[in-house]
Chains A and B, each alone.
Chain A
Amino acid sequence: MNKQTLDKDSILKYQGQLNFEIIGHLLNSLKDETDARDIPLSHYKKILSVMIEILENVFKYNEYFEKSTYLFPTYSPFFSIEQFNGGYLLTSGNPILNKDIDKLQKHIDHINALDKEGLRQLFRTTLTNGEFSSKGGAGLGFIEMAKISGEKIEYLFTPIDETYSFYTCKVFISSKALNSD
């Protein structure tokens, strides 16, 4: 199931396969939607930065669930942006291997425990020393999202079966973060 729909408070909503080209289409859709709604450029830039990282996290993890076709369409990846309480809520969802939950949870908890200066320091340390692959940046994406958001990253793991859970990640760009420049 691939669909892109618009709701009243929704800026963008997508559920289906996520690959490099589809992420590109979604980024273009964000530009169209923010233009149509007269969303300020400074807001657009922050949404864009978080959107790239949250979607690339799902994309990078594709290989661990894409062959388990029984998961789809019920547990297909999804992504949404909603205008909410003066800010913007970005949500992603995808299947995750149960064995990977602990590591991810610890990584997000570690980031959530840091203040703005702590995040900057962790970003720089990870930038300089973090392990790196052709697909990703050693967890830099989560730090970047937390730096922009100004709020804690929320997550939820809903069990699917003995192998997988469904991982939901929510990043809220608050009005405070939007007006910080």
Chain B
Amino acid sequence: MNDLIIEATEFTPEIYFSLTQRKFHFKGVSRPEDVIKFYNPAIQWLKELEQTIHSHVDMRYTIPLLHIEFRLNYFNSASSKMLLQILQILKRIKEMGIDLVIDWYYDANDEAMYEDGMDLSESVDIPFNFHSC
């Protein structure tokens, strides 16, 4: 699969999914005019990854771990619904035997961003590592 790289704009985050580097991240702000349209390529890419892993059982040995970083300055409530969908696909990938490390970065002045991460982590039932910066 090719890497998925979506560049940041004033209102949308950078999305970087690299299977070769086993690193995924979301960076910036998220207030897309149409959240479903914006996040659709990322969701489709992850669904394709899920299918690929499903049909290639050896992938859990070649890709034992995926590292996902969330470095968001702010996101609107509509985006949180899309982030949950993304995490639900990642959870299914985890259930196929691929470990996930999810790092959630938040500004030390921004307690709400920490709580948003907690809400997502508990909603999807995957632990996050929290880092204030």
Which of B31, B76, B122 contacts A124, CB < 8 Å? B122
Main secondary structure of the interface of A (DSSP, over half): helix
Contact with B along A131-162 (1 / 0, CB 8 A): 01111111011011001100000000000000
Binds B, one of A10-18, A40-48, A61-69: A40-48
Q: B74 at interface (Cβ–Cβ under 8 A)?
A: yes
Cβ A135 vs Cβ B112 within 8 A: no
Q: B7 at interface (Cβ–Cβ under 8 A)?
A: no
A155 to B11, CA, bound (A): 29
Closest Cβ of chain B to A37, distance in Å, is 16
Q: B129 at interface (Cβ–Cβ under 8 A)?
A: no
Q: A180 at interface (Cβ–Cβ under 8 A)?
A: yes
Q: Which residues of B contact A82 (CB under 8 A)?
A: none
Closest Cβ of chain B to A45, distance in Å, is 4
A137 to B33, CA, bound (A): 12
Cβ A147 vs Cβ B81 within 8 A: no
- Number of B interface residues in the complex (CB < 8 A): 26
Cβ A53 vs Cβ B76 within 8 A: yes
Main secondary structure of the interface of B (DSSP, over half): helix
Shortest Cβ distance from A140 into B: residue: B77
Given that A24-B11, A123-B119 are known contacts, is A45 also in contact with B112, CB under 8 Å in the complex?
A: yes
Cβ B77 vs Cβ A141 within 8 A: yes
Q: Which residues of B contact A42 (CB under 8 A)?
A: 109-111
Q: Which residues of A contact B109 (CB under 8 A)?
A: 40-42, 45, 181
A147 to B80, CA, bound (A): 15
A41 to B74, CA, bound (A): 13
Q: B34 at interface (Cβ–Cβ under 8 A)?
A: yes
Q: For residues 72 through 94 of chain B, which have their beta carbon under 8 Å from a beta carbon of chain A? A: 74, 76-78, 80-81, 84
Q: Which residues of B contact A45 (CB under 8 A)?
A: 74, 107, 109-110, 112-113
Q: For residues 7 through 43 of chain B, which have their beta carbon under 8 Å from a beta carbon of chain A? A: 10-11, 31, 33-37
Q: Which residues of B contact A132 (CB under 8 A)?
A: 36, 78, 81
Q: B115 at interface (Cβ–Cβ under 8 A)?
A: yes
Query: What is the interface of chain A, defined by CB distance below 8 A to chain B?
Result: 20, 24, 40-42, 45-46, 48-49, 52-53, 56, 120, 123-124, 127-128, 130, 132-138, 140-141, 143-144, 147-148, 180-181
